[in-house]
């Protein structure tokens, strides 16, 4: 594997898509081939799973936490096999919105599933692939709700969860970052977009030069 794998994590409204888009443009301006993608939904199968998981509504009813974790793992297995690993083998930079850490935070901390089990399922689905860098955009969940409302549109199934769920997810992400400081870059998502972008590109520059 000769490429570079970078993921963005954080709660809803933290600005992951914005920072991923800015990083993609920055990398391409420097001549790097980039695959920008997301979980769930990076493949045709993943798009179907995303629609069920986030917008299924009455059609599928309440999703059991273990079923939810397995569906995210199924999306991840297809995504890594069909998109991420081939891109890395080509030497591309993969810039991805959400990955294994989201499963650990949302299904592990949020749904209160055994963290070790969620990690084992996720690692198996991904064939043991982890990113070299994970950017965590940390934001108070209440601020995330305000940002989503300002954008407009209905909340998806996870966004509509109670505040306690999102607080648990935030604590889960911060605990993951504390446990793996070499891989993580934790940024305050309330800071200006361009300031965050500068911090991201500074860290990515170090990664590309290593």
Residues 158, 143: Cα–Cα separation, whole Å: 16
Eight-class DSSP state of 11: S
What CA–CA distance (Å, rounded) separates 36 from 176? 23
Residues that constitute the known binding site for ATP: 10-17
Asked if residue 178 lies in contact with residue 104, where contact means CB atoms within 8 angstroms, the answer is no
Where is the binding site, in residues?
10-17
Helix residue spans in 113-192 (DSSP H): 115-125, 141-151, 163-179
- Tell me the two tokens of residue 184: 């993580």
Burial of 145 (0-12, 13-18, 19+ CB in 10 A): middle
């Amino acid at each position: 594997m000769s490429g570079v794998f970078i993921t963005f994590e954080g709660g809803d409204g933290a600005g992951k898509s914005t920072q991923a888009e800015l990083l993609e443009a920055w990398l391409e301006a420097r001549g790097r081939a980039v695959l920008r993608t997301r979980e769930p939904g990076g493949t045709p199968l993943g798009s179907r799973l995303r629609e069920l998981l986030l917008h299924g509504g009455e059609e599928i009813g309440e999703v059991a936490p273990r079923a939810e974790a397995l569906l995210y793992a199924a999306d991840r297995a297809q995504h890594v096999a069909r998109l991420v690993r081939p891109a890395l083998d080509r030497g591309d930079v993969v810039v991805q919105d959400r990955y294994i850490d989201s499963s650990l935070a949302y299904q592990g901390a949020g749904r209160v599933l055994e963290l070790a089990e969620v990690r084992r399922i996720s690692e198996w689905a991904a064939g043991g692939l982890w990113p070299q860098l994970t950017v965590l955009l940390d934001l108070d969940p209440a601020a995330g709700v305000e940002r989503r409302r300002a954008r407009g549109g209905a909340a998806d199934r996870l966004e509509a969860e109670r505040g306690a769920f999102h607080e648990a997810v935030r604590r889960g992400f911060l605990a993951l970052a504390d446990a793996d400081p070499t891989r993580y870059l934790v940024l305050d998502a309330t800071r200006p977009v361009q300031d965050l972008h500068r911090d991201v590109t500074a860290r990515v520059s170090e990664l590309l030069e290593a």
